[in-house]
Amino acid sequence: MGHRYRCGVCGRYVQASSPELLAERFGVDDVAVDEHAPAYNVAPRAEVPAVRRRKDRTVLSRLRWGLVPSWAKDPKIGDRLINARAESLAAKPAYRTAFAKRRCLIPADGFYEWQARPGQKRKQPMFVHRRDGEPMAFAGLWEAWRDPEQGEDADWLRTCAIVTTTANDLLAPIHDRMPVILPESAWDTWLDPDADSRVLQSLLVPAPAELVAAYPVSPLVNSAKHDGPELVQPFELESA
């Protein structure tokens, strides 16, 4: 499926870290992710690494990007639910159960956003990353869905969405929203199934502007058919 770029926030991101690095960085107890090639253009419907809590243990496993609520009749609804607005998690039927019970961390080495440029018809892709080079931890929600027509014989489909909030001062000129990037001090709280919703909501704020940097990259990223480290190389802009 050839995804073009999306005007919504965080429709593409980079996940180039190995399972070993992620397991160490996030301190997980169990790893259920096979070795995989770095992905420099992760698009909706991709199977992505995520950190979840299972009873008293944390596990790194794969979830399909695009949340499919348990009550959905068709998994295609996930194509519209790749991002979840922080301001409405507790109210939206698609997200409120996951917000209450099924939260995850979605590791990323950075994400793409598209910026309008004066005198240019096409938006310019920008790559956003942590200045210290560490993986980001997006706040995520996850769900488990089974085809209602097949009932208990159906396999479980586990999916996720990235939580977004208002942009910080650095990213506001590029887009008015950004993924929630949780600091390490918030990881345990976000994964805690018994955490108070008011405490959780207080975590869903823009990351400090000094945490991240952004620079222009090649328009090749506009198509999910393209992948590779060249996509995150700085791109020289043409003058308007």
Integer Rg of the chain from CA: 17
Q: Are 178 and 164 within 8 A, CB to CB?
A: yes
**φ/ψ of residue 124, rounded to 5:** -95, 120
Residue among 152, 136, 143, 123 at smallest CA distance from 216: 123
10 catalytically annotated: yes
Query: Kind and range of the H or E element at 160?
Result: strand 157-166
Distance CA 205, CA 77 (A): 27
Q: Identify how many contiguous H helices and E strands the chain contains and give both numbers.
A: 4, 13
Q: Are 85 and 176 within 8 A, CB to CB?
A: no
Cβ neighbours of 128 (radius 10 Å) = 25
Q: Which of 104, 113, 143, 160 is catalytic?
A: 113
Q: Which of 10, 104, 143, 160 is catalytic?
A: 10
160 catalytically annotated: no
Distance CA 213, CA 239 (A): 22
Burial of 157 from C-beta contacts in 10 A (0-12 / 13-18 / 19+): middle
- List the catalytic residues: 10, 113
